[in-house]
Structure 1
Amino acid sequence: MATTRRATPADLPLMIHALRHAAGGVNGPLDVEECRTSPAIAHYINGWTPDQVGLICLAANTPIGAAWIRDLPETDPGYGFVAPGIPELTIAISPHHRGKGHGSYLLASLLDSCRRSGIRSVSVGVDAGNPAAELFQEAGFVSVCRRDGRVVMLRVSDASTGV
């Protein structure tokens, strides 16, 4: 069974590793250096601080994945940018831990943390054809547009129920 805990600055190397997988999508993980230096990718990690929502997923007390949100400006949008004030999700589970429900658990935990923090809307950009799109749909994300070979999805929770 997996558990989650809040991400801390000490988790940034793990988050970069997760970003490699998330940004690489169906083409496989990106190089660490590309994640750190490519402006289109680095902004997902640069500027992240523990006061923002971020979780580490653990199995048997070993980190196996991470999920966090970044509210990127319209002048430096992410792949899943929808509008200012709507943070974008980054999530990844280590490849050998996929297919066991950890991604669904991590996503549900992150969305619950967002709700408790007063964040009602979250977006995500996912490569067309990426099986993760089904995970997002099951969590209530809907496709809002296609851009640069990616599907941009949005989840808006009901303010009264949090769902």
Structure 2
Amino acid sequence: MLYPPERFDLNEWFSLLSGIVVFAAALLLPKRFSAVLTTVFVMFTLFISQTVDALIAVEPVNLYDVSDTSKYEIMDAFIYYFVYPPTTYLFLYFYDRWKPGGWRRVLYVAGGSFVSVVLEGLAHWVRVYTYKGWNLGYSLCVYLVVYALYVWIYHLMIKLMDRQGIRTRR
């Protein structure tokens, strides 16, 4: 069940503004990926974000809350569906555009992780996330793994779709 926010305050406004900015940025960029590939990226992002939160943000671990409470609020769903997927799309868009290899790939993943930690720190400051045993150092580790997974999924999907003759670009 989706619960309404306890109060519509700074954290909800921050989440809405973040969602509008990243969603608009993703929509305004020239289309780069096919609808199939974009769908895979979105679905994988939804799976990863909700799975990680289900493992570490709820009982028995319960290291942080998203939004005002540990209940699944409307703003939690907004973040999962309208902030995280376009953020992943932007990360992979520029990855595909710049095609970093070797150490540049490692630096790209590390840079994306660092930017995400800074943005999460800002979100924590406005109480989008309430830490209960969590800290940004843990987030950096999670982002490094998750962004490496995104790059792996990107290469896997490009290879599989090319092998099948399915168009990956718009």
More relative contact order in 1 or in 2 (CA 8 Å, sep 6+)? 2
TM-score, with length taken from structure 2: 0.30
Q: Which has the higher helix share?
A: 2
TM-score, with length taken from structure 1: 0.31
Compare CA radii of gyration and give the structure with the larger one.
2
Q: Which has the higher strand share?
A: 1
